[in-house]
Amino acid sequence: MKRVLLLLLVPVLLLPLAARAQATEARLVPFRQGRHWGYADRRGRLVLPARYDEAGPFADELAWVRIGTLYGYIDGSGSPVTPIQYEQAGNFCDNRATVRLGGETFAINPAGRRLPPDEVPADKEEDPLEQGDVVRGPDGKVGFRFTVGAARVPAIYDEIKDNYNGLLLVRQGPKWGVLDSRGKLVQPVQYDSVRRGGSPLLVAVHQNGRWGYLGPEGHRLIEPRYLRAAPFFGGVARVQTPSGSIGYIDTEGREFWTDEEPTSSK
């Protein structure tokens, strides 16, 4: 179980939030067949055979794969771009990826060459509220005043987060809800937690021990049904079902895995 959790997190931890949010939808999706991984098209048809022990999402036409305990990168045809040699490997974005080799963490370019430290951009500070300003009431509660338009959110919440897409994530006590750009409640205050994750357009929500996702308008895109749910990247997100199965879903909730082993993993 420790390996399952690590693999859910490795590609995400090594990449800044701003970079993850910029990934466009990829042509191929990681597809698990039993214990092995390959890549399928958006219709779920296997394109690259299931020959890896783990596979990550494509970004900039490159993806990380794992064989044994080590990682490397392939292109969209399945051809190797780097040796399988890294202890950790992140997703490519803006022609760079973060890797770990020999206990050292650094960035590489799409050719696999190490980038000098001064070519690796520093993480940018995030503006927590880009759409307006927090308004504080005398009792310590908070509301919101939008910069554009006349909409106001009364100071009845304990916390407010901006989702950078016209939505506000609001907390009352231990529960979270969602407001639109007019201050209208589009998701009741019912979630145990919310997570903006990699894509500012697709919020992950946690309810009754399960994770799901909200769409750009705040509606339920995927009902909370997963034990774990990573941020969307390249139009897909890595999830774990209550039974322990690991795989990827797309923004329509289609699941890209089967528990049947491939006829040949070579």
Closest CA to 208 of 222, 227, 186: 227
Q: How far is Cα 183 from Cα 13, in angstroms, rounded to an integer?
A: 33
**Total of domains in the chain:** 2
Asked whether residue 264 is assigned to any structural domain, the reply reads no
Residue 115: domain span: 2-124
Asked whether residue 189 is assigned to any structural domain, the reply reads yes
144 contacts 134 by C-beta, under 8 angstroms: yes
Run of H or E residues at 6: helix 2-13
Q: Are residues 179 and 93 in the same domain?
A: no
Q: Give 187: exposed, middle or buried? Use CB within 10 Å, 0-12, 13-18, 19+.
A: buried
Q: Are residues 88 and 150 in the same domain?
A: no
**Which band of pLDDT confidence, cut at 50, 70 and 90, is reported for residue 79?**
very high
Q: Are residues 47 and 111 in the same domain?
A: yes
List the CATH number of the domain containing 38: 2.40.128
Q: What are phi and psi of 162, to 5 degrees?
A: -90, 140
- Of the residues 105, 124, 143, the one at which a domain ends: 124
Within 13 Å, how many C-alpha atoms sit on residue 117's CB side? 2
Closest CA to 97 of 124, 52, 67, 61: 61
**Which band of pLDDT confidence, cut at 50, 70 and 90, is reported for residue 24?**
confident
pLDDT single digits (tens) 170-195: 999 999 999 998 899 999 999 999 98
Asked whether residue 92 is assigned to any structural domain, the reply reads yes
Run of H or E residues at 32: strand 29-33
% residues pLDDT > 70 (the chain): 82
Q: Are residues 42 and 149 in the same domain?
A: no
pLDDT single digits (tens) 208-234: 999 999 988 899 999 999 999 998 988
Q: How far is Cα 197 from Cα 194, in angstroms, rounded to an integer?
A: 9
Tokens of 108: 């590489």
% residues pLDDT > 90 (the chain): 67
Asked whether residue 204 is assigned to any structural domain, the reply reads yes
Q: Are residues 107 and 181 in the same domain?
A: no
Q: How distant is the alpha carbon of residue 167 from its chain centre?
A: 18
Q: Which amino acid is at 150?
A: A
**pTM of the full structure:** 0.82
Asked whether residue 19 is assigned to any structural domain, the reply reads yes
Q: Are residues 92 and 49 in the same domain?
A: yes
